[in-house]
Amino acid sequence: MVALRREEKRLVNVLIVGTDFPPNSGGISTYSREIAQVLTERCSVTVLAPGATGSRAFDETFCFEVVRTPNIPFLRTLAFLVYVPWLLVRKRTDLVLHTVWTTALASHMWHRFFRAPYFVSVHASEILDDNRSIRRRIKGYLGRWRRAALRRAAGIFPVSRYTARLIEGFGVAKARIRVITHGVDPVRFYPGTASDSSGDGGLLTVARLDLHKGHDKVLEALARLRDERLSPRYTIVGEGEERARLARMTQALGLQEQVTFAGFVSDEELLRAYADAEVFIMASREIPGRQDLIEGFGLSFLEASASGLPVIAGRSGGVPDAVLDGKTGLLVDPCDVGDIARAIKCLVTDRERARRMGEKGRKWVEEEMNWDRAGGTLLDAMQELSRDRLSS
């Protein structure tokens, strides 16, 4: 019986290909790991990702095989062109999932020689062009290939309705687009007892310190609330290029006693930060001319909801799919400091409403917005779309 079950699990061989995978951090890295772990329950999974410092010991902790390519800057795409067909043969791959479009170029190049249909997960900024860096400039030059790879795919899985609209602009048939949002692990992230006994409504942001994350607008809102005798503490978890500017703003606004820059934190410290907070806030906004700074979804919103926190979020990009306005949190105009200040005041002073939102957020995660649901939906979609492709 055991042998039969193992055989059944290996009936569907899935190859997951991406440029972001642990031990590297980030939303796409988390997505790739969690989807691989969920699919392992129903499939035989192999992950193909670039090598990274400490990756060998890290890979040994997984119950699926991780194959690493040489991590040579600007040559990684060429490495995937070699490794993908090799694994298609070696693993007798049935389905291929690319967690970024650049690696899908390999499947597109080899599609005439292999029957395994390929799929692409799309987040947001990686499919938009600008000249902010050499890497993004090169991606822009590959625009024709990107369009061809996306249109050839058996299915495209945007993480939000916002991203789905972007994909439609590439000429992908709507029937092959399935919105599959991110999830979160409700066992890892769970409600805690806030250690802040002062009852001052502690705020928390967990994000890279990038311009579009809205830390600056939150600081301005806090300064405005002092006139109303409200001074909630504000903990900022994360690092980034905006750190120095935000520190100067904190000083200039006289918020040194309220604001704490926690920097990078360990997994245990992150859980503690969520447990200690009373309100999660991230006023993400779109920055003109910065296509690299788009909130495609916002995984930290779900982490906060899983932790039982009400959420204040900027209405931009794919954020409305991560926060149920008026139920799990409040959506605000991320460019309107007054709107942000009013939302903070609402949840800081109305503890009962904040509590109800936190409870609804937790229930939403338990019932819908978790990785088990995301992975199961994704696998079902791949199998359905692959049948459609083979029969067409």
- 29 lies in the same domain as 163: yes
50 beta partners:
69
- 374 lies in the same domain as 261: no
- 105 lies in the same domain as 214: no
Does residue 190 lie within any of the structural domains?
A: no
Does residue 83 lie within any of the structural domains?
A: yes
- Give residue 126's domain range: 2-183+370-391
- 26 lies in the same domain as 170: yes
Q: Per the structure block, which two tokens stand in for 248?
A: 């100067």
pLDDT of residue 130 exceeding 70 = no
Does residue 329 lie within any of the structural domains?
A: yes
Looking at the structure of the chain, the number of domains it has is 2
Q: What is the pLDDT of residues 261-298, one digit of tens each?
A: 999 999 999 999 999 999 999 999 998 877 678 899 99
CATH number at residue 351: 3.40.50.2000
Please check whether residue 242 is in contact with residue 214, taking contact to mean a CB–CB distance below 8 angstroms: no
Does residue 192 lie within any of the structural domains?
A: no
pLDDT of residue 390: 55
- 363 lies in the same domain as 374: no
Does residue 19 lie within any of the structural domains?
A: yes
- 302 lies in the same domain as 225: yes
Residues in the chain: 392
Does residue 197 lie within any of the structural domains?
A: no
Q: How many CB atoms lie within 10 A of CB 136?
A: 16
- 59 lies in the same domain as 176: yes
Does residue 196 lie within any of the structural domains?
A: no
- 117 lies in the same domain as 250: no
- 145 lies in the same domain as 216: no
- 231 lies in the same domain as 268: yes
Average pLDDT of the residues of the chain: 90
Does residue 195 lie within any of the structural domains?
A: no
Q: What is the pLDDT of residues 46-85, one digit of tens each?
A: 999 999 888 988 899 999 999 999 988 777 778 999 999 9
C-alpha 152/C-alpha 242 separation (Å) is 39
Closest CA to 69 of 102, 27, 108, 110: 102
pLDDT of residue 319: 97
Q: What percent of the chain has pLDDT over 70?
A: 90
- 152 lies in the same domain as 222: no
Mean pLDDT of the region 294-322: 96
C-alpha 377/C-alpha 36 separation (Å) is 13
C-alpha 301/C-alpha 319 separation (Å) is 8
- 246 lies in the same domain as 266: yes
Q: How far is CA 365 from the centre of its chain?
A: 15
